[in-house]
Structure 1
């Protein structure tokens, strides 16, 4: 009878937690983040026991290079995967923390970046995080003063790279995983750093959560339920934020219209700014930073040029627009002598992530002239002028930039294209009348990607 109860429990763990996700698509590859610990080993063992999934599985060990035992753990994981007849892959990452980044955050970011690179369309990544992991996550977010999104904890399913990430055990108690491992006499490794309370999550896991569970035994279940309530509420907030954001956001230059932003009440302005940061893929700003954006930049006089820097980006305003400029190294112009555009090359890197490309076009610079000339990229020194097609006289670039509403900080990094030492084009904004041509499939157009 005991054997039958254990078997039923095992079946429930597999089918209820894993088979509820549609993982059986013919071309789908299933990657399992496999550390060799008890949780990930149970997940791998469960998946390998499901006939329709086994041939799709790859166990992935991420080697952070942070501990001497990591080489042994990698070998252990490979042996366990082979015992189960599952493919194995080890990925080496650089988990060194950047300035302002905690060791935990650095390791997580490196791990997720490596795993994300594996997934193609329809592929799935499975993580073994369980209900007590969710409890720790929600508590950490609470202690950090997070809002609804943070208090929603970890999602059970989320788009990840080109594929999707699942957490099949997220609503499973830790004890059920331990019972499964004991019933199957599984062998796993223990990371000694898990016992160090220097890390916030370990401190919660080792010192705080056990005391909480003595008082409230079902706390992992009830907090997980609260996290789902927060996630449901966040969905409604996102729907409102989407509409508000669309009314203020300019997708061309990724700016917010200040006048339209100020038409909303203060708490909605904050909601829009958070939505903006998330859209740009930036770290969510603190409440204090949002308040400074509104008071120091948005509320500044129109003729002012305030700059609020921090968290790898700078917030600036120009005329009626709010800009978020991602701080990257190498954004300064190249040497004043410029650089030559190699013949036959269709694009050239300008500054930072900015790339200037040439494409076939019905209007622009005549292709033959482009191909035979020495093409050089330079930057403003001051006093440059250009004659434009259909307009009288020569125009100073300074006046053209002001007329076009190009922010001051973009002007000095705008590439000037010279053909045989003559100014032929200003980025992808203007082409000199002396070089401009209209000729079906006989011209070169310029495109600046930022």
Structure 2
């Protein structure tokens, strides 16, 4: 928090749990009168109304304006509940900032993920065979929908947050779903983190460094991909693609699909696409591959994507 200097006024994502309670308290003390709280009511469990009521009482005690936003966070087929809830939260933050912009001009939003959350995210990525974007875990700051998002607690271990709250005597709620080990993240928290703490006491710091290294490498790959795409064109020409190494082809195609079509190919889909690009040596060779929710096809000398 010492080096956290967001543009003000600031909104804090406040769930009522320990982490967001600590973040809200610290921000209110540092920037009195410049902080607003936003509680996203997911409506996914019976206790959700009680969470919102707790937040209202606590914010009233702090004399901090609170906005409760109800969202529909049910997940679509093939989508994880966590991803659906995350999307709903970001949409709620966007709506809040848009509605409040004329009066408050909210410029920044602070979220309460901490060092343990960062480790859990990396371990989840490893369990799924993720590449550098997944191993980069969560960024400390980023832009989305014209807002600056910040995670000022990413270097702070969860036990330190709870110890700080205990010294302050601050009330917070315990979400019962956080101990439900049907969720992979909760199993990691309950089983793996204690084992890591025993075997490698500094694991939070070393994992954070690894995430930073992965993020730097990913930024470099993205820079190379966008330079390559300038030469390849949009949509990319097949012959120019074939002039790149397989690794640069994969990097460029992954970036093209994500940046221009919001499509994320699986490893198997991307490998198949590379194979088809390599085999495309005659005019009559056709390409029609399913990628994400659409298809990559050949049209003349170029690749095209149709959602």
1:319 maps to what in 2? 300
- 4+ runs of 1 displaced by more than 6 Å? none
Alpha-carbon separation, structure 2, partners of 1:106 and 1:73: 19
Q: 2:83 aligns with which of 78, 97, 105?
A: 105
**Residue 238 in structure 1 maps to residue 222 in structure 2:** yes
Structure 1 residues 303-329: Cα deviation after superposition (integer angstroms, max 9, x where no partner)? 354322242221111001111112xxx
Alpha-carbon separation, structure 2, partners of 1:279 and 1:204: 32
Alpha-carbon separation, structure 1, partners of 2:264 and 2:97: 26
Alpha-carbon separation, structure 1, partners of 2:4 and 2:56: 26
Query: In angstroms, what is the RMSD of aligned CA positions?
Result: 1.7
Q: For residue 257 of structure 1, report the CA deviation from its aligned partner.
A: 1.1
**Cα pair distance change 1:298/1:123, threshold 3 Å:** farther
Q: For residue 239 of structure 1, report the CA deviation from its aligned partner.
A: 2.1
Q: 1:178 aligns with which of 162, 165, 169?
A: 162
Which structure has the highest helix share of the two? 2
Alpha-carbon separation, structure 2, partners of 1:299 and 1:113: 43
Instruction: Give 1 or 2 for the bigger CA radius of gyration.
Output: 1
Alpha-carbon separation, structure 2, partners of 1:97 and 1:201: 18
1:32 maps to what in 2? 12
Q: Is the 2:142–2:150 Cα contact (8 Å) retained in structure 1?
A: yes
2:275 maps to what in 1? 295
1:115 maps to what in 2? 93
Alpha-carbon separation, structure 2, partners of 1:325 and 1:78: 46
TM-score norm. by structure 1 comes to 0.64
Structure 1 residues 280-317: Cα deviation after superposition (integer angstroms, max 9, x where no partner)? 25242222111112224663453354322242221111
Unaligned runs of 5+ in 1: 1-13, 327-450
Alpha-carbon separation, structure 2, partners of 1:111 and 1:298: 42
How do residues 55-70 of structure 1 correspond to structure 2 at under 5 angstroms?
A: 55-70=33-48
**Cα pair distance change 1:297/1:325, threshold 3 Å:** farther
Alpha-carbon separation, structure 1, partners of 2:175 and 2:164: 20
Alpha-carbon separation, structure 2, partners of 1:295 and 1:108: 35
**Cα pair distance change 1:91/1:174, threshold 3 Å:** same
How do residues 45-444 of structure 1 correspond to structure 2 at under 5 angstroms?
A: 45-50=25-30, 53-119=31-97, 123-250=107-234, 255-280=235-260, 282-296=262-276, 299-300=279-280, 301-326=282-307
Q: Is the 2:120–2:185 Cα contact (8 Å) retained in structure 1?
A: yes
Deviates more, 1:53-62 or 1:160-169: 53-62
TM-score norm. by structure 2 comes to 0.92
Alpha-carbon separation, structure 2, partners of 1:307 and 1:68: 47
Alpha-carbon separation, structure 2, partners of 1:115 and 1:298: 44
Higher relative contact order (CA 8 A, sep 6+): 2
Unaligned runs of 5+ in 2: 99-104
Q: Is the 2:16–2:54 Cα contact (8 Å) retained in structure 1?
A: yes
Residue 302 of structure 1: SS of its match in structure 2? coil
Alpha-carbon separation, structure 2, partners of 1:246 and 1:312: 25
Q: Is the 2:28–2:34 Cα contact (8 Å) retained in structure 1?
A: no
Q: Is the 2:94–2:145 Cα contact (8 Å) retained in structure 1?
A: yes
1:373 maps to what in 2? none
Q: Is the 1:296–1:306 Cα contact (8 Å) retained in structure 2?
A: yes
Q: Is the 2:263–2:291 Cα contact (8 Å) retained in structure 1?
A: no
